[in-house]
Structures are given as C-alpha cells and as structure tokens.
Amino acid sequence: MTDYNFAYLDEQTKRMIRRAILKGLAIPGYQVPFASREMPMPYGWGTGGVQVSAAVLTPDDTFKVIDQGADDTTNAVSIRRFFQKTAGVKVTEATEEASVIQTRHRIPEQDLRDDQILVYQVPIPEPLRFLEPSEVETRKMHALEEYGLMHVKLYEDISQHGAIATAYAYPVKVEGRYVMDPSPIPKFDNPKLEMAGIQLFGAGREQRIYAIPPYTQVVSLDFDDYPFEASKADHACDLCGAEDSYLDELIVDDEGGRMFMCSDTDYCAGRRKQGHVGAQGVPYAEDAA
C-alpha cells in the first residue's frame, strides 16, 4: 500500500475532517457536515469512523477496533488491518494499551483514561430522523431547540408499553443543548458517555461528524416518573462470571438452550486471566484465546 498516503486519505481531505472535528468539539453534540469521501470499504460499514480515525491517528498510536464489543468480529478485523497497512500503527486487543479505539455499537467496559480517544461508527447520526425523515426539517428543529417531537415519541411509548421502548441508540442531551444520537450502543452504555476520554462520532454516508469532549454533561432523555434505566440481561457471564458487563446471548443447542457471555471480549479475557470462571467457562489457557 505504499502508493497511498499515511492513513490512506490525502492531506487536504484530512485537513477538512480535522477542521470538522475541532468544530464538533467546540459545539458538543452538534452534527458538523463534512464532505465524506468514498473509502475502499462500503458505506454503512464504518466509513465515517474510519475517516475520523485516519484524521486523528499518528504513527505513535496503538489502535484497537471493536465491533459489538469484540476485536475478532470480521469487520473489526478488516478495519484494523486497513490501518495496520496504511498507517503502520501498532494494534492491540487490550483496551488498556490502546490510544485510539474505533468502535461499532459498544463502549468498552473498562473506564477510558484521559489520554484515550474513542471513535464511533455512526449509521444515522440524526436522533430525530425516524420521527421526521426530512433533513431540512430536523436541522430546523435543532436550530430552534425544538425537541417536543422526541418527548412525544417517548411518551407514546410509555402509554402503549408502560415503558420507554428504546433499547439502543437511546437519545441523549449534551451539555443541556443538543439532542444527540449516541450511535446504536445499548442503553446500558449510556452512562459511560460521560467519561475522561475524547469521543468522536463519524457518519460517512450521512456526512456528519460530532463529538463529546471529556467530562461533558450527557443526559439520557427521560421523564421524572419514568426515569432512564441502563439495563442488561439479568445473568452473569457464563465464561468469566462478570455481573456488571453487557452480555451477548448465544443459542447453544437444538432445544434452544441459551448461554450468556460478555460482549466485550477483552474484558472477559482479562477477567478469566485473573482466575474468574463462569458457570460454563473453563480456566483461562493462553492457547485457547
């Protein structure tokens, strides 16, 4: 890949993305339009995150990619390889060792430090999109801080289901101003959006970048009588026994038997290395992982 520039994108493109990132940080939660480029991977597969990572990475970085919390999912592997080739960066599966983490649909279980950057892949950045399909209209709503439609939707959920029927991509309000889509993370992850690290969100196909600086106030929308609740499956991880982590559900036999395991594979492996064993787990062995 020596024919390509450092981190694939040309310098002018990176400057354009970098300017958008700075604006995003200055106006937390606001979606900055940017001229997303065609990347050598499909739209919808993380091109926004990849462009943001390309603009942020330096040759000194250690890069981690997770999809659904796991480092070994095929698309995470594919993106990690892309930057290994085009930027020559070190890669890791350990959350602790990573300086830049690109993610799809999860926030790592382990708290991020202030020298870590989390880059989200975002499919639909507009939290109001499924209530109002027109971009012209939703942009107006953000300008006027007119978020009544969202509250009506959440309220209708309550009257129909007795609870807010949004389980992922749960909308948040950033620093008391912009309603923001945190990308399709489970609402279990929402409380972690207030963190020490820098969070950058890239939506390639929709041409938007947004950001949450460290320690920014991020509030999940709710009502006094129906407060927000970060929920997960009511189980412990069957591999490592963790009770505080988000779980994947697996169907393990023809009778529909289930087991649960940490979606964050690095977190799970770390616990198993420390000697934790879940109900169906085996003691950690180096070669098994």
Partner 1 sequence: MQSLALEGGFQNAPTDAAHAFRSIMTAMARPGEISRVDGATPPAPLSVATGVTLLTLCDPDTPVFLGKSVNAQEIIDWITFHTGAPLVEAKDAMFAVGSWQDLTLDDFPIGTAEYPDRSATLIVEVPTLDNTGAILAGPGIKDTSRLTVPDIDAFQTNRQNFPLGLDFIFTCGNRLACLPRSTRVS
Partner 2 sequence: MYVAVKGGERAIDNAHAWLAEERRGDSSVEELSVAQIREQLKLAVNRVMAEGSLYDPDLAALAIKQSRGDLIEAIFLIRAYRTTLPRFGGSNPIDTEDMVCDRRVSATFKDAPGGQVLGPTFDYTHRLLDFKLAADGELGKCPKAESSDAATPHIMSFLDREDLIQSEPTGPETPDDLTRTPLELPASRALRLQSLTRGDEGFILGMAYSTQRGYARNHAFVAELRIGTVAVEMDIPELGFAIDIGELTVTECETVNQFQGSKTQPPQFTRGYGLVFGMTERKAISMALVDRALRWKELGEDNVGAPAQDEEFVLYHSDNIQATGFLEHIKLPHYVDFQSELELIRKLRREAQSTLQEAAE
| Half-sphere exposure (Cβ direction) of 254: Cα atoms closer than 13 Å | 0
Q: How far is the CB of 227 from partner 1 (least distance, A)?
A: 24
162 binds, among partner 1, partner 2, none (CB under 5 to 8 A by kind): partner 2
What distance in Å separates the CA atoms of residue 81 and residue 54, rounded to the nearest whole number?
A: 13
As a whole number of angstroms, the distance between CA 59 and CA 282 comes to 38
Interface residues for partner 1 in 228-267 (CB under 8 A)?
A: none
Residue 243 interacts, among partner 2, partner 1, none and using kind-specific CB cut-offs from 5 to 8 Å, with none
How far apart CA 168 and CA 230 sit, in angstroms, is 10
Binding residues among 67-96 for partner 1 as defined by CB under 8 A: none
Q: Which residue in 74, 89, 63 sits closest to 41, CA to CA?
A: 74
With contacts defined by CB under 8 A, how many residues of the chain interact with partner 1?
45
Q: Residue 111, interface with partner 1 (CB under 8 A)? A: no
Instruction: Please say whether the beta carbons of 122 and 49 come within 8 A.
Output: yes
Report whether 57 contacts 14 (CB < 8 A): no
Neighbours of 174 (CB within 10 A): 22
State the catalytic residues. Answer: 29, 237, 240, 262, 268
- Using the rule CB under 8 A, is 14 a contact of partner 1? yes
Among 68, 78, 166, 216, binds partner 1 (CB under 8 A): 216
Q: Which residues pair with 186 in a beta bridge?
A: 168
Nearest approach in angstroms of CB 117 to partner 1 is 9
User: Could you give the angle at which helices 74-87 and 47-56 cross, rounded to 10 degrees?
Assistant: 30
Judged by the rule CB under 8 A, the positions of this chain that interact with partner 2 are 4-5, 8, 10, 13, 33-40, 42-45, 47, 67-69, 72-78, 104-106, 123, 134-136, 161-163, 165, 167-169, 184-188, 205, 207, 231-233, 238-239, 246-249, 252, 259, 261, 263, 265, 268, 280-282, 288-289
Candidate ranges 10-18, 184-192, 231-239, 246-254; the one touching partner 1 (CB under 8 A): 10-18
Is residue 217 a contact point for partner 1 (CB under 8 A)? Answer: yes
Q: Are 116 and 98 in contact (CB under 8 A)?
A: yes
Indicate which of partner 2, partner 1, none lies near residue 140 (CB less than 5 to 8 Å, by partner kind): partner 1
Query: Phi, psi (5° rounding) for residue 149?
Result: -55, -40
Would the CA dihedral through 254, 256, 259, 262 be positive or negative? Answer: positive
Q: Which residues bind partner 1 (CB under 8 A)?
A: 5-7, 11-12, 14-16, 18-23, 25-28, 30, 32-33, 55-60, 114, 139-140, 142-144, 175, 177-178, 196, 198, 211-217
